[in-house]
Amino acid sequence: MAHHPGQGPSGGSTTEGSWRERVPVELFASPADMAIDVARRIASLITSRAAESRPVVLGLPTGSTPIGVYRQLIRLHQEEGLDFSNVLTFNLDEYYPIKPDALQSYHRFMRENFFDHVNVPEENIHIPEGDIERGEIGAWCAEYEQKIKDAGGMDLILLGIGRTGHIGFNEPGSGPETRTRPIILDEITRKDAASDFFGDENVPREAITMGVGTILDAKEIILMATGEHKAPIIRRAVEDKVTHAVTASYLQRHENAHILLDQAAAGDLTRIQTPWIVRDVEWTDDLIERAVIWLAERTEKAILTLEESDFHRHYLHSLANQYSNIDDLCKYVFERLRQRIAYSEDLPSQQRMVLFSPHPDDDVISMGGMLDKCVRNENDMTVAYMTNGSVAVFDSDVRRHLRFMRMSAEYFNGDEGVLAKLDALRKAMDSKNPGDVDSEDVQLIKAYIRYSEAIAGIEVMDLDQRHARFLDMPFYKTGTVRKEPIGEADVQIVMDLLEEKMPNHIFVAGDLSDPHGTHRMCYFAIQEALKRFREKYPSEDHPLVWLYRGAWQEWEIDEADVLIPMSKADLDRKVEAIFKHESQKDRAMYPGAYDTREFWERAKQRNQHTAKRLDMLGLPEFHAVEAYVCVHELPS
């Protein structure tokens, strides 16, 4: 873990190269490490204040990032006796209008994820109310501010950060003078929340939020961010000047604010992305390659045409000085990249393979080209769909399929019981309110829709239903976007498949920035199962793991271990397979807020973009390229 020069909350040493960062930044190897650290800080504060018979006032957020902290605090309470009886809490925000028991309500979120499991006194819990009368909002907000003041102010406030740079629901334009108030939500914020509300049309347009000034009054501020999708806004908040356009940038003006990041969220910081600009670096092979690719793209030159002057004009003096002949350096990097290009004959053949697909379309979206080539190389391929994807099916698709089944049942002289059930299901669908949890029957129909599409997709690659496994992992089956933690049953399902197939190769989704975290959770289940598999079969040849991306992001060229060229015909087959997922076509339920393109467009354009980048670097020109990282153990 690294700290800002002389300012780390735990007295850390200087972080070399962080001089562009205008607020202290700490880096963690994983979100889990960050959660443990933050929970320990909070626990220490609670314990020290209890020893002085003094209360602790905490500002608390919602969202996926703080859940890990809440789980750690619950563990400390239940296993180590951490006492919350001296704690007062004030939540940052709530949607408006919304009932406190609604699935998406922050009241419900906080109780289910924290308050129901610890002993914070009921009278000490304060959450903005989303169901008060509109005419009462102003007075209620003023009273909320007074309660914080009467409590002595917040000792510590936890924050997340939105894609607009908002903290709380303080959208762009919010200044340090703002206090608790109603606010109109930005379109981007509403798109970010769409997955929780079963579509952005159901997301409330307003919220009640603490103001920027309220937040800045806290004695200590910790902002946490995880995932690659947060990296661009983190860089703006940390390295650019304070601006109304990024309300998180106001943390630069707080004397005791800290930004905590996992490696992915820190990826766009200068000291991580281009460290040679801000500090002396040790020139490893990987860093040399990244720097030369960066230089070639910055100068718009092919690698083998770079000149020594290019290096000196772009902060790469120390690298240039290590080589007596720049041409040798460029040739070295060029050959490293060229050797990663793998044609069909370079790929495995007649091997046992398992492709783990978190959703029933990630296989063809993210690695349709590789899947096609592996099948043609006569590998024994099993495509394991880890979740049923049911929450991503529109109700209109269910109605369409029910209509088809009703008409078909009549044609085939279906019995009255079948017809009656179809009619009942259709009636239930017609009376359903937006955002309601589906019945088990409807969830099953939605799952079957996704399953049938998945089989149609792999049939394009000359596979069939025999090659598909629908694992239907328990953590996913909540009927809502928010999932249960990965449990023993989830891990065992993966373990059972590994033992059955004993694969030589497995393919795992490595893009962990999907908007509702399913990819990350599936990754964790596979990681744990692989660990057990290796322990149980120490003498076996363990499978090589291929990490693929594509649904949410793509591997950078310098990160990839293998580059798979695709012809136009290859890419056309991949797109055709994606088209088979009709429920996700034209308008997906959860496209994510960071990319408005359809999934087939993303896959096609990303693969073509990777090919174009290779071409610009002077490597062979291909129509499209898929990229993969190969590991023997899944990194944390």
* Structure tokens belonging to residue 165: 């740079």
Report DSSP letters for 462-531, one per residue.
Answer: T--GGGEEE---GGGTTSSSS-PPP-HHHHHHHHHHHHHH--SEEEEE-----TTSHHHHHHHHHHHHHH
DSSP 186: P
- H/E element holding 157? strand 156-159
Distance CA 317, CA 460 (A): 51
For β-strands 125-126 and 87-91, DSSP reports them as parallel
Active site residue 171: yes
By 3-state DSSP, what share of the chain in percent is helix, strand and coil, each rounded to 5?
45, 15, 40
Distance CA 263, CA 265 (A): 6
Catalytic residue among 21, 26, 145, 171: 171
Dihedral of CA 398/403/409/414: which sign? Answer: positive
Per the CB < 8 A criterion, the answer to whether 537 and 498 are in contact is no
Distance CA 585, CA 535 (A): 42
Residue reference for tokens 């902290």: 69
User: Does residue 49 come out as left (phi exceeding 0), alpha (psi in the -120 to 50 range) or beta?
Assistant: alpha
Nearest Cα residue to 261 out of 15, 548, 511, 56: 15
Q: Count Cα neighbours of 531 within 13 Å in the Cβ-side half-sphere.
A: 10
Report how far apart, in Å, the C-alpha atoms of 23 and of each of 176, 178, 244, 270, 611 are: 17, 21, 17, 14, 38
Per the CB < 8 A criterion, the answer to whether 509 and 628 are in contact is no
E strand segments, 352-467: 352-357, 380-385
Distance CA 388, CA 442 (A): 13
Distance CA 282, CA 292 (A): 15
* Phi, psi for residue 184 in degrees, rounded to 5: -85, 130
Q: Name 89's bridge partners.
A: 58, 125
Per the CB < 8 A criterion, the answer to whether 515 and 593 are in contact is yes
- H/E element holding 183? strand 181-184
Distance CA 41, CA 144 (A): 26
* Structure tokens belonging to residue 30: 């994983």
For β-strands 380-385 and 468-470, DSSP reports them as parallel
**Which of the residues are catalytic?**
171
